[in-house]
Amino acid sequence: MTLGSYIGRRLLMLVIILAGVITITFFLSRVLPGSPVEMMIGYRPTAEEIEAAKIELGLDKSLPVQYLSFLVDAARGDFGKSLSTGRPVIEDIGQRAGATLELTFTSMVLVLLIGIPLGVISAVNREKPADQFVRAVSIAGAALPVFMVGILLQMLFEGQLGWFPLQGRLSSSLLFDGSFEPRTGLYVIDSLIAGSWSTFFDALAHLVLPVATLTLSTLPLVTRITRNMMMEVLEEEYIRTAHAYGVRASYVHYRYALRATLIPLITVAGLTYGYMLGGTVVVEFIFDWPGLGGYLVRSISRNDFPATVGVTTVLAASYLLINLVVDLLYHAVDPRLRNT
Write down the domain spans for the chain.
Answer: 97-295
Query: Higher-confidence residue: 40 or 97?
Result: 97
As a whole number of angstroms, the distance between CA 302 and CA 84 comes to: 7
Rounded to the nearest 10 degrees, the angle between the axes of helix 63-75 and helix 305-333 is: 50
Under the banding of pLDDT at 50, 70 and 90, the label for residue 211 is very high
Per-residue pLDDT, 210: 92
> What pTM was computed for the model?
0.80
Best-predicted range by mean pLDDT (59-73, 236-250, 258-272, 300-314): 300-314
pLDDT tens per residue across span 106-140: 998 898 889 888 888 888 888 888 888 888 888 88
What's the chain's average pLDDT? 81
pLDDT band at 30 (very low <50, low <70, confident <90, very high): confident
What Cα–Cα distance (Å) separates residue 253 from each residue in 51, 112, 271?
70, 18, 24
Give the pLDDT band of residue 339 (cuts 50, 70, 90): low
Is 208 a residue whose pLDDT tops 70? yes
∠ Cα 71 75 80 (to 5°): 70
Question: What is the number of helices (H) and of strands (E) in the chain?
Answer: 17, 0
CA distances from residue 75 to 18, 22, 56, 70, 189 in whole angstroms, order as listed: 10, 10, 20, 9, 32
- Picking from 164, 174, 170, 175, the residue whose alpha carbon sits closest to that of residue 212 is 164
What pLDDT, in 10s, does the model give residues 284-318? 888 888 888 888 888 888 778 888 888 988 888 88
Identify the pLDDT of residue 334.
62
At position 176, the amino acid (one-letter code) is F
pLDDT recorded at residue 49: 67
What CATH homologous superfamily does 97-295 map to? MetI-like (1.10.3720.10)
Tell me the mean pLDDT in the region 185-214: 86
Q: What is the reported pLDDT for 298?
A: 85
At residue 81, what are phi and psi to the nearest 5 degrees? -100, 140
pLDDT of residue 338: 56
Kindly state the average pLDDT of the residues 52-78. 78
Q: What percent of the chain has pLDDT over 90?
A: 3
